[in-house]
A and B are shown apart, each in its own frame.
Chain A
């Protein structure tokens, strides 16, 4: 156990106990342990999802990706592909998992094309649920999806039916952050109109996207102002880039177009820079996702989405029990692929417990029945 260092206070001060250093201790432990974060990206092909992920995390996760040709794509269904990368910055380790969903929305008939995605999210919850209820809880792997970036095409006039249906199918399972993709093709006016429209439609259809938590009242004004701006800016209009361009002696991540405002003095005429806040909301998204709200996203996933799932699961199990009194042992609700020995033992234990509970229930019911008579 590491002891916290007493900074600037004499150890002989009677009132001072020393637990004010707790945040430091937590910090140090977390840094040692490292963090993990699972981010899902969803949207049709060609929305710039991979490019945005690369830009956000300054990596090239998709170096060896091959785009399928027409023949290969004919029978394509929605797949779930995971990429994991370990990033370290200033001693802090992050295990980042990106869950990709190629094939979403690309077919002619996209009925229920989100089902593989909702199934995947549920599976991760289920796995965590079992691990949590298990005996060996020291090294639980948290593969739950903490956040889903949903890419809305900039070409439309707002949300399309597939956008609405997707978000409604997922808004109670994962934190959804809708983004306007490829925002560099829109004029500032168009962006504003589109954002207003999308916000309106999100309200209208009752879609619960991720809400930024309210500022504490004791935060300083500047922070509150930034927070307000952030909230008014959603959905973020983003662009990403895999290329770094030389501009004004600096290396800038951006996209080079042959047209630019020809205005005498300044040199970055043709550059649409990813990091330029007047060009797009990439910086806001990155700051929000990584620098300020990563932890909150994980909390909401654990406290809200996962708990909802867990409560639902348990409810289903007990209600099924009540129905099937005759059954020797209850059937597990979700099928396991290959249950290992530990899990088998666990299931058996739980079954015995549930059986005992059921017997007690029956006894009680019988007692009540006798009383009435």
Chain B
């Protein structure tokens, strides 16, 4: 708790270009004010999951956010047909923790990679991502803008790699190559309990090498590291990626504790046990340390790239009045 009346003489220091503080002013309380404001307004986070059916995408999202924000598919129902193109399904939930409200939107992509011929199956996804940028751009360019532009842009795309144990599949590299420049991609190795620890390490090494060779820049991208501290933190994370994860929404009793896990005939895989899988690392990275950064990179870099491209296309954007909500002359 900050005591605003504290006049600590040793809180003054001479920073270059600044003036010497003779007493305590209270500028640093702005952090507290910002925090309070953020808590009141809450914030948005949009996460997209991409990968073949059955890789545990919905389960992982539910495990990450410890709530049923994603409906698990039971596969295609008897008379349902697999969609010919990839569908985009966005579902939003508001979850709250410690007084902070988050509107979490999970964008699912059923049908990805499920057909025999998967040529261009990434196109609906690419289109969706660009459409969100376009929506935001239109709002920004309006004469009378909304106070808080609703942000539907995809902040993070988790790509699920099949744990084959050999290499990345062709579809994996094609997708990531094409989309790593328009959205933050976080590759994860799905259903990691398929592999023993040695197999996992070997597979990871091979996958990372392939990603490098293919020139795929996954998040956190090296070029956006702001300073040395960032770089060293992010280097450590990059070394450990892609995280080999296991998801589960069932609890079991292990050693007197209740843990999330998967029970097979010979053992229980504990999801949050760092000796079993890297879920905890992914969660800490995604939610506890880099959540805000994901949003910032999306806004400051990916969105700006899109915006610059659009501006250059038509020789300029024309601001439109709020009544003109149909096709603008962009």
Contacts and interface: CB of A to CB of B under 8 A. Distances in A.
Contact of B265 (A45, A73, A188, A258): A188
Contacts of A70: 167-168, 173, 210, 213-214
A44 B113 CA distance: 13
A259 B262 CA distance: 11
Contacts of B61: none
B74 A157 contact: yes
A46 interface: yes
Given A108-B170, A108-B174, A188-B265, A157 B73 contact: yes
A153 B166 CA distance: 14
B271 to A, nearest CB: 11
Interface in A141-160: 153-158, 160
Contacts of B213: 69-71
A152 to B, nearest CB: 11
Interface string A175-213: 000000010111110000000010010001000000000
Interface string A256-280: 1111111000000111110010110
Contacts of B116: 109-111, 113, 161-162, 165
B167 A272 contact: no
Interface string A158-172: 101110010000000
Interface in B82-122: 82, 114-119
A334 interface: no
Describe A's contact surface by its main secondary structure. Answer: loop
A260 B267 contact: yes
A47 interface: yes
A262 B75 contact: no
Contact of A257 (B76, B119, B163, B196): B196
A355 interface: no
Q: Size class of A's contact patch? A: 35 or more
Interface string A203-233: 0100000000000000000000000000000
Contacts of A260: 266-267
B266 A261 contact: yes
A110 B73 contact: no
Interface of A: 44-48, 67-71, 73-74, 106-111, 113, 153-158, 160-162, 165, 182, 184-188, 197, 200, 204, 255-262, 269-273, 276, 278-279
Given A271-B266, A272-B264, 6 more contacts: A109-B117, A153-B162, A186-B264, A187-B263, A259-B268, A269-B267
Interface of B: 52-56, 73-76, 78, 82, 114-119, 162-171, 173-174, 190-191, 193-194, 196-197, 210, 213-214, 254-255, 262-270, 273, 275-276
